[in-house]
Each structure stands twice: as C-alpha cells, then as structure tokens.
Amino acid sequence: MIDIDAVRAQFPALHQDVYGKPLVYLDSGATSQKPVAVLSAMDDYYRRDNANVHRGVHALSARATAAFEDARAAVRDFLGATDAREIVFVRGTTEAINLVANSWGRSVLRPGDEILLSGMEHHADIVPWQLVAAATGAVIRPVPIIDDGTLDLDAYAALLSPRVKLVGLVHVSNALGTVNPVAQMTAMAHAVGARVLVDGAQATLHVPVDVVALGCDFYAFSGHKVYGPTGIGALWARRSLLEEMPPWQGGGEMIRHVTFEETVYAGVPAKFEAGTPNIAGAIGLAAALRWLTALGREAAFAHEDALLRYGTARLTAIPGLRLIGTAPQKVGVLGFVLAGIHPHDVGTILDQHGVAVRTGHHCAQPVMARFGVPATTRASLAVYNTTAELDRLGEAVEAAIRLLGR
C-alpha cells in the first residue's frame, strides 16, 4: 500500500501553482519528476566527488569511479541481469537503439534480410532501422495493430521466417499504454533465428522487467522516464553479442592501445562508452532505481493500475471523448480525442487549469495513422498521482468542451 502523501512529499516540483492553480502533472510519459533522493545523490557527487572516472589515481577519481560502477550494478539488478558487463551506459533509449542498429545491424544485415517492427514503435525504433536498411539492403516490415490497440499475433507469426534477422518491439506503447507479450514474441522470433531488441523506455516505470525471463537479446531504457535524470540510460545486451559487435564511436576510454597503424579496443562494456560519460547522470539513475525498489515496485504498479482504472472510467463518461488504446493489458496512459476539437487546443485549456498533459503524435505517427487521428491528448500516470488529480483532469476536459465544443 502506497502512502501517497509521503511519496508526493519527496517530489519538490509537484508543489507549485500554475496559473494560480495547484499543478497536476500528468506528463510522466514524456519525463517523470525526480525525488529528493535523486537530486541529493547528484548534488553530493558534484559537491564532493567530482572527478573523471577510470583514469585518475587520486582519491576523488577513485570515489567517482566506484560510484559510477556501483550505478552499473544497480542497473544490472533492476533489470534482473546477471553480469554488470552487459550494461552499457548511453544517453537514453534512442542512443541505445542507434548503437545496436549501427554496430550490430550494419555488421550483420545483408540485402534481402528482414527487420520486423511493431506497428506501435516510437520513431526512435523506426528511423535508425530505416537508415541501416538503406545502407545494407535490408527490408522493414511492420506488425499490424488490431482495433483495441494490441498487436496482431497471427500476422506476426505469418511474417516470421528465416529471412527475419531482427524484431524491434516496444515493451509498453507510449501512445497506447499497451503492454506487449515480449516473452512470447521473443520465443517466436528465436524459433526462426532472429534477434530481439526491446524498447523499454515506458516499461521500467510501470511493469516489472526481468531480461532473463523475457529472453530478449537487447533491452534499452531511459533514466528520465523512471524518476532519474535526463541524458542517461542503459542498453542491456547479451555479453556474447557485445563481444562480437564492433565499436560504434571511437575515442578515449574505449581502447586498450592506440598507434597510428592500429587500435586495440577495450573489453565490454568500455568498448561502447567512448569519452567522458555522464557520471552524475549514472549516479542519479542508480538513486532513482533504488528509490523505486525501496518504495516497492509491485505496490507502485498496483497504485498506478488503480489510477488507470479510475481515470478510464472518469474520462469515458465524458460525452464525445474517444479513448485511443483499450488493450486488456495496458498501463498508465490515457490517450484521447474529443469530437471536433484539436488536441493542441485541449492541451492549452488544460494548462490554464494547471493540468500538464502531452498533445501531439507522441513520436508515434504510424499509431496515429492506424487510428485515423492526427494527434491525441495524452495523460500519463506515475506513482505520485492521485484520483483527485484525475478528477481535476476530467473537470478541465469538460471545461474545454464547454469553451471549444462545436
């Protein structure tokens, strides 16, 4: 059971007024707010231990290196991985996917090979593969979505063949909230010899993640979606794959020995971490993951599920509101459209009522096209939200209809 008042007290940004009204922050799908534990961990690093990692013999560098590698272990534990060397720090999910596409993809894919991408992928799991497909001659094929916002598994099964080398699969849709059956789809892909890359950007906030149980080959996520800082994330990949993959970026830290004739690369994960990393970001990420673990991940997820059910009932009772994404297995995303009113106008009115939501295509334009809308208004939930805030959302939507309704 979550003590919601105690939780909210740990998030300074929530305690402010917007246009004279208490802030209702319902945009955690874009970025979550940060608890004091994260802010303090990063502040402590910069105040006391600020130094570069792995390269210095002095005390500050040793402390910074220890904290940085401790953060890698925290990510390993959070994802249920077994080897910290399988954790590569990156700027976020986008960079992780680009790393896989440009290292594994460009070295493995050949003309005629196929890449299956779910129809609900974020642009970050579409555009990098388009670039690689153009360079290698591989072909991208989408897995269709059915009307309730779930993937068509029969169509997926029909698309699988030995030509498929990679399946790109979002764990949780940022536009629909759908939780995809990753373990089942991974097993199906492996049966034809394909690798599976999972975009976990939205999942780590809402569902348990265990990469061993999921069985996937790559798993990417962003720190700022799970109460951590921006500019930091991680790629988990099977060590055997990391060992085979060539470096993507060159520079300091990723080498053992350099001459003008040749370079001997460092082992994993250093081979993929060129240059000075986001040390404070990694420390903040570790603090966020440990904060959520200490709070109780299952209790947090149960609280969010109750909010989702309450919010769904509150919004669907509003005449003229259409919810986009009604999958049986979904998490805290409430995307909707109002008859005759553009989502950007809705978002503007909601903001005047102190309610922060996201409007637009959410970097998922194929999803919008599938449901025949240019954009949606999206309220996305986190552990610090309340039913009272969802009532505020409903009241603000009703005010928008009264003001803008055609």
Residue 193 located in a structural domain? yes
Q: Distance between CA 351 and CA 21 in Å, rounded?
A: 10
Q: 260, 293, 326: which is the final residue of a domain?
A: 293
Lowest-pLDDT choice from 230-244, 251-265, 286-300: 251-265
Q: 262, 293, 324: which is the final residue of a domain?
A: 293
Structure confidence at residue 295 as a pLDDT band (50, 70, 90): very high
Cβ pair 379, 357 in contact under 8 A: yes
Cβ pair 175, 367 in contact under 8 A: yes
Model confidence pLDDT, tens digit, residues 29-76: 999 999 999 999 999 999 999 999 998 899 999 999 999 999 999 999
pLDDT of residue 30: 98
Average pLDDT for residues 274-287, to the nearest whole number? 97
Q: How far is CA 222 from CA 200, 203, 227, 228, 289, in A?
A: 8, 10, 10, 8, 11
Cβ pair 120, 168 in contact under 8 A: no
Which tokens go with 310? 């309450």
Residue 406 has pLDDT above 70, yes or no: no
Q: Is 363 a catalytic residue?
A: yes
Write down the catalytic residue from 153, 192, 363, 399.
Answer: 363
Residue 33 located in a structural domain? no
Structure confidence at residue 1 as a pLDDT band (50, 70, 90): confident
Q: Distance between CA 254 and CA 263 in Å, rounded?
A: 10
Residues 113 and 251 placed together within one structural domain of the fold: yes
Structural domain of residue 333, as residue ranges?
Answer: 4-27+296-404
Residue 351 located in a structural domain? yes
Residues 251 and 347 placed together within one structural domain of the fold: no
pTM above 0.75, yes or no: yes
Burial of 80 (0-12, 13-18, 19+ CB in 10 A): middle
Which tokens go with 315? 């919004």
Residue 148 has pLDDT above 80, yes or no: yes
pLDDT of residue 117: 98
Residue 273 located in a structural domain? yes
Q: How far is CA 232 from CA 98, 181, 201, in A?
A: 14, 26, 12
Q: Distance between CA 45 and CA 22 in Å, rounded?
A: 32
Residues 184 and 66 placed together within one structural domain of the fold: yes
Which tokens go with 182? 């990753």
Residues 336 and 216 placed together within one structural domain of the fold: no
Model confidence pLDDT, tens digit, residues 310-334: 999 999 999 999 999 999 999 999 9
Count of CB atoms situated within 10 Å of the CB of 402 = 9
- Percent of the chain residues past pLDDT 70, beyond the cut: 100
Model confidence pLDDT, tens digit, residues 87-113: 999 999 999 999 999 999 999 999 999
Residues 97 and 79 placed together within one structural domain of the fold: yes
pLDDT of residue 349: 97
Number of domains in the chain: 2
Residue 32 located in a structural domain? no
Residues 356 and 380 placed together within one structural domain of the fold: yes
Structure confidence at residue 263 as a pLDDT band (50, 70, 90): very high
Say whether 159 sits in a helix, a strand or coil.
helix
Residues 322 and 366 placed together within one structural domain of the fold: yes
Q: Distance between CA 141 and CA 134 in Å, rounded?
A: 14
Q: 275, 293, 311: which is the final residue of a domain?
A: 293
Lowest-pLDDT choice from 180-189, 223-232, 257-266, 385-394: 257-266
Residues 11 and 126 placed together within one structural domain of the fold: no
Model confidence pLDDT, tens digit, residues 350-404: 999 999 999 999 999 999 999 999 999 999 999 999 999 999 999 999 999 999 8
Burial of 72 (0-12, 13-18, 19+ CB in 10 A): buried
Q: Distance between CA 165 and CA 262 in Å, rounded?
A: 31
Residues 75 and 159 placed together within one structural domain of the fold: yes
Q: Distance between CA 193 and CA 255 in Å, rounded?
A: 32
Residues 18 and 44 placed together within one structural domain of the fold: no
CATH code of the domain containing 304: 3.90.1150.10
Q: Distance between CA 180 and CA 171 in Å, rounded?
A: 5
Residue 34 located in a structural domain? no
Q: What is the DSSP string of 62-83?
A: HHHHHHHHHHHHHHHHHHT-S-
Q: How many helices (H) and strands (E) does the chain have?
A: 15, 17
Which tokens go with 18? 């917007």
pLDDT of residue 276: 95
Q: Distance between CA 405 and CA 397 in Å, rounded?
A: 11
Cβ pair 168, 220 in contact under 8 A: no
